[in-house]
Amino acid sequence: MKKINIKRWVICALIGLCLVLIYWLAAYYNLLPQKSYEAKDFGIMPVYSEVDFNNNGIDDYTDILLGARIDAENHPKYDGAYYSGGYPPDNIGVCTDVVWRAFKNAGYDLRVMVDHDIAKRPEAYPGVEIRDSNIDFRRVINLHVFFERYGVALTTDITEIEQWQPGDIVIFEDDKHIGIVSDKRNRKGQPYIIHNQGQPRREEDYLKRSKVTGHYRFDASQIDSSFLVAWIE
């Protein structure tokens, strides 16, 4: 009888551990129901761009946010394969593809702008050994250099919640990952991130899970208009 009780106890313990593990994984990947908040819930005034580059009646920052969300909702398969035309199909992508697609929605051809900057300042791009416009814009290290020059550098402190605004660009772990700031926030006021690591939810409470090493806002009003390149279908 005693041996039977011990066996039952071991089985119950294992079941309990499995349930804890399942709960932890579900929480880690943001699969559990979560309440999201907005900037107004924390008294934060939203920041809008003075620029509407594609003249669609929506400011650049909002367009970038919406473009990133379109990619998140499309849920492309995580695949960093090289494409001779530069742009992977809509059902394929990695973290950097979220960014150029977000900029495309605002009317910018990020690929061409990055390529032009690499040609102009090759010494600034340590990640480029041989210039290749088909892939250079899909590497986080190159986008970091680009936004360091053409973006407005902002705080990397996630507790300074008022400085995090929808459409901002965020770089993680010394150029290992990149994403776009959402207009949704967690209960502490920290924004969700729209990104692609192949995870189930592409717009999630991620900021606290990875070290931020760059935070930028693309303000086209501060950039020479001759440098800006419009997206052409």
Q: What is the pLDDT of residue 87?
A: 96
Q: What is the pLDDT of residue 131?
A: 97
CA–CA distances in Å: residue 109 to residues 14, 115, 211: 54, 10, 28
Q: What is the pLDDT of residue 106?
A: 98
Q: What is the pLDDT of residue 92?
A: 96
CA–CA separation, 170 and 180 (whole Å): 6
Name 188's Cβ contacts closer than 8 Å, sequence gap at least 6: 161
- 58-85 confidence digits (pLDDT tens): 999 999 999 999 999 999 999 999 999 8
Q: What is the pLDDT of residue 6?
A: 72
User: 198: phi > 0 → left, psi -120 to 50 → alpha, else beta; which?
Assistant: left
What stretches of the chain adopt beta strand conformation (E)?
A: 77-78, 92-93, 152-153, 169-172, 177-185, 191-194, 203-204, 212-217
Length of the chain (residues): 233
Q: Mark the ranges of the chain whose per-residue pLDDT is less than 50.
A: 1, 23
Q: What is the pLDDT of residue 140?
A: 98
Nearest to 39 by CA among 190, 180, 179: 190
* pTM, entire model: 0.88
